[in-house]
Structure 1
Amino acid sequence: MDDSPALPSPEDMSHALLLALLMERGGSAVLPARALDVDAIGTPDGSFHAIRLEALPDDLLRVSVHPRPDEDGAGIRIQH
């Protein structure tokens, strides 16, 4: 039996992560405008960086930015 948590669809994951991060920080965050520059969120060809969710002890999750895998489309890969 698979005991992985129920995750949003790949299409909804970005929105769900944004909401989770904001709600954990009181509902809002202040960012410099440059935080949305192409170099900050992706690559010059228009691809966004990838997000990794990592399970930590004490029922915590780490959300981090990683280079996008060399594949097309959105997707969620669960690695154990």
Structure 2
Amino acid sequence: MSGPSLSPADMSHAMLIAVLMHNGGSLDLPATAFEADALGDGRGAHHAVQLAPLDDGTVRLSVIPRPSDAGDGAGLEVRDV
């Protein structure tokens, strides 16, 4: 999967917009979805998102632990498949 060179913030924004658009432009979430433990690991580290292409032409978005060595790049890696 290739695409333009995006910053981690731009890629996060693009994934959010894609999810919302695929769900008709909005998605109802409980307020608890934004509690501190839901957004991070409780120790100040944020979760990361993995975007993986699947064999059927779709992609899977998954929550994963943020790589400890992510630095400013937030672990963003775009690879051709």
Structure 1 and Structure 2 fold alike (TM over 0.5)? yes
Which aligned segments of 4 or more residues in structure 1 are displaced greater than 6 angstroms? none
Structure 1 unaligned segments of length 5 or more: list them.
none
What percent of counterpart residues are identical?
A: 45
**Separation in 2, partners of 1:19, 1:11:** 12
Q: Which has the higher contact order (CA 8 A, sep 6+)?
A: 2
1:6 and 2:26 correspond: no
**Separation in 2, partners of 1:41, 1:20:** 19
Q: TM-score, structure 1 length as denominator? A: 0.82
Structure 2 unaligned segments of length 5 or more: list them.
none
- Structure 1, residues 57-76: CA drift from partner, whole Å, max 9, x if none? 22100000001111222241
| Equivalent residue number for residue 76 of structure 1 | 76
**Separation in 1, partners of 2:18, 2:8:** 15
1:60 and 2:58 correspond: yes
| Equivalent residue number for residue 30 of structure 1 | 28
**Separation in 2, partners of 1:40, 1:51:** 13
Q: Between Structure 1 and Structure 2, how many residues are aligned?
A: 77
CA contact (8 A) 2:50 2:64 kept: yes
